[in-house]
Structure 1
């Protein structure tokens, strides 16, 4: 029985009942919950005390927001909104820095990865699918060693995508670099010993797919003004700009969507090194499904199919109930990125809300050694703050032209040519 038939089987209803019971199972002890809440509130207070004034020129911390008319948008709670920057925790070993908190309950006590993904597929299939813009807002961050490898820096950025094919409207990409600073007190001490620099330059380097690399370019400690770029695409799929015609043609059936993605992956692989048809195909399928779930203005049926494809892939493990980089609780799903010799490059973890079907975050972590021998965990994350269809308009920097004089003619899927994506500072992985 293939994956599509399995979901059409009446017995699937019984499986969904089991999933619901597992997701409703009691979580951590009240004492543990209260302790975690206290740590989070303390961290939030520290961030606000140290950064609210500095963030005043930007709108993340202080700007008044309009009353929104979101249709099915998952929005960040007010308490978590204050913690837009990553809170770093240190384990009992002073030498290991963790980017991501550990699971709050035993993974064996909760649902399996497949059950979590199928529950999310069922939920997201019911989400609304109409609006003038598909809008997503993410907070991205990275923990990487400074160029001298003496301390770890924490970079943060907010990104927005406003995508539309409505005549007279323009799609926009808005980004706001929030700054960089030493990640922990030991890093701050090493940073001061290095002369308290406020600018760092990283050369462009190559790395294994899925490896953690430093963000190429020159970076400052202070925030920058928001910047907006007009887009002529409907988003990114398999690291390639995609047209609206291509997005609308994506099949809403898991078997057909998987066949489409595999054919496109093989087409890309034909232009480069030979594709490992087992491990590499699965990794690229995982990435393409997450691109669909987190960044493309597709129908609810396509979004649900992407979850069903993920549920059919091996290697994804359930972490149980976890806390994401913004302090939100969800179900954690993890897999390893391996080299061809099966050595590990990095760990990737998704956190999703199975009740709404919305992804909360995507995190990649790895281990590095600093110049003094201290072992640290480095990595990057994308936390999805808002996502969904809306009739609101983007709030653009004054330098941006809000409406195009004339909407460009879009090519059909067969006629479209690959074009480079808009340049942006990259805080993510290879």
Structure 2
């Protein structure tokens, strides 16, 4: 904020009109207001405060502004204060006139004129002043927002009360602390600091509790992972515990996924091998069946060919056979048994020829060993299935942990939101207090 010009009329000890050119005074960088007691030094500062906020500091504010009028002013001269200043990159002119009991234009006695306020802003492009507002409330809110201070703060920080500065210089450290606390009203900041400290301790306790729950869940995860998960050597409340546990959980999850992928690959390979073996077995069985039929057909054809010459002899023997009819059933039974034996030998030879090379010469013991190996492979597949089911349980438990983590993050976000809105809430409550004080 930079003051440019102050015009005073019938204000304080000044019965007439006075003008202060701050641009000329501050040309050297620093200026001093001095003079005997009652010369009006404090009234100049009061006029600046009145122009900005519509009231003067402390006990000098009386009535509704009628106490600001100079006792030396002519009855027809109205009290007026005009301040030209630059703030936040804008050049403004504020004019305030307190309530005034002026003489009636007709008859005797006086009548009360209401307080007046004008706010103008200089338009550099047009080179002229433009009216902005004539509302006391709008002007007060805009000036407060531009300066960033209320009237009490402006009076405490910018306009140090008379006598308090000298007392401050002569006081010891303890007295200076008390005086500064009274001047700048630091009690509310101490209360805010205490409340924030309480909230910090409560939040730390909540974080420790959450860390304890998270660490317990991590130990359960470590047990479920079979001891392969490495947990950090941190206690609840230590910085970085949650990140370390999450990192360890992510590593354990990756390891479990790798083991699952390996087990799935092994299962797929075993299923493929079994399918191929089933197809090969079916082919072998079908080939053996066809070979048996072919062998039987060839055997029957060979027998028929061999017996072609014997047919005639058979006719001759028929006559003799009738004589030996009593022993014919026994002979037929013997021939049938011989034929069945030959067929069995042929089928065995064809079956052995259809087997793979490593089983062709193997006996019963070799086939039994192969059967045991196949059973072991099936047992490994069953273990892989159990590992898959255990992984499913771990994934479900991790989902529960993720939901708990999201709940904790929502609690932290709510706390951060409350802290972020505290300054706005405090400013709003402070504004209500100031409005109530002004109304009082």
What TM-score comes out, normalization by structure 2 length?
A: 0.18
Structure number with greater Rg is 2
Kindly indicate which of the two structures has a greater share of residues assigned to strand: 1
Query: Where is the helix percentage greater, Structure 1 or Structure 2?
Result: 2
TM-score, normalised via structure 1 length: 0.19
Higher RCO, 1 vs 2 (CA within 8 Å, ≥6 residues apart): 1
